[in-house]
Amino acid sequence: MSIESCTDFLRTAYASEELMRTLRAMTGPKEIIALGRRHGYDFHLGDLATASMSFAPESAPGPRPAASPPPSESVFYHHEYDIADLPGFGDIIDLLPRLKVQPDTVDLARFADRYREEDRASTDLSPVSQEFRRWQNRVEREESARGADPQQRGFHLVNLDEHVDHSGYDSYLDAKSAAVGALERAFGTEVRFSGSMWYPPSSYRLWHTNETQPGWRMYLIDFDAPFTDPEHTTFFRYLHPRTGELVTLRERPRIARFFKIEQDPDRLFWHCIVNPTQRHRWSFGFVVPDDWRERLGLPA
């Protein structure tokens, strides 16, 4: 019965523009299960996996993904704007307070106990250096020896979409769905969430490339309060694919950052994020069309 319930939900969702927009705001199966229950469908993770394999939807309502323009060489590896300066992003600014949740299901004391200074320090190394590789190999051996996933060591942050049982989740989900709608109006095509991350004080995301998910990303970044010292802020750091230089970008409230994820080994976009401050940082990621600048009327 649960598989049938899940199939019925998928059929209902694919016939509803509103539900499809909400699905584009989701990044994991826990959220889909929660959405199903919200609409009276009871199913579990295994049911979702089985139903998804056999379900063949008709054309879904809503905006269609933009066709990709011919590939071209990436000259700029990142672009950064104040959110207020982007055309059509006024509704996004209004939604930010509802997106910046701190789920009561997160134990911040336990979170703080998992901080590792040696991990944070690895972001000062080039991810292609021998020193970094030696450190990485040692960590992989240690984590594997204790039966842990070495990849998880790189995430000292909170994935908001894993927390679907907290008291503010429904409002948060509605805000995410509204954000997708606002961005699709701004870009004139389909947009979907790729991640919603909360970086409490002393948090980080270690070096990574996201190479299995190529394309342009947009991250909307905000904080619980401004920084008093412009030299002591959170930062986004990347390895310039051409020069090998480590580029560190100090952050401020309400910025939009765009960058392109490549799969070519010579053009991988190595990057990391560190919050060494007492501020809370939120980062909301989206998959956006390759011609996002033209769609927003921004200079190339």
Domain-by-domain residue ranges, the chain?
2-54, 79-108+153-296
- pLDDT score, position 235: 97
Q: Topology of 79-108+153-296 in CATH?
A: Jelly Rolls (2.60.120)
pTM value > 0.85: yes
* Spatial contact of 119 and 151, defined as CB atoms under 8 Å apart: no
Q: Could you state, in chain order, the average pLDDT of each consecutive group of 10 residues for the chain (300 residues)?
A: 89 94 96 95 92 74 54 63 98 98 97 97 97 96 92 95 96 98 98 97 96 91 96 95 93 96 86 97 97 93
- How far apart CA 33 and CA 42 sit, in angstroms, is 8
- How far apart CA 144 and CA 138 sit, in angstroms, is 10
CB atoms within 10 A of CB 224: 14
Residue 88 gets the label, from left (phi > 0), alpha (psi -120 to 50) or beta, of: left
Cα-based torsion angle of the residue sequence 269, 31, 281, 118 in order, rounded to the nearest 10 degrees: -60
CB atoms within 10 A of CB 183: 24
* Spatial contact of 175 and 256, defined as CB atoms under 8 Å apart: no
Which amino acid would we find at residue 271?
A: H
Eight-class DSSP state of 87: T
- How far apart CA 175 and CA 155 sit, in angstroms, is 25
- How far apart CA 288 and CA 65 sit, in angstroms, is 9
The CA-CA-CA angle for residues 205, 71, 76, to 5°, reads 50
CB atoms within 10 A of CB 150: 14
- How far apart CA 21 and CA 190 sit, in angstroms, is 9
* Spatial contact of 182 and 98, defined as CB atoms under 8 Å apart: no
Q: Is 133 helix (H, G, I), strand (E, B) or coil?
A: helix
- How far apart CA 278 and CA 257 sit, in angstroms, is 22
- How far apart CA 178 and CA 184 sit, in angstroms, is 10
Residue 238 gets the label, from left (phi > 0), alpha (psi -120 to 50) or beta, of: beta
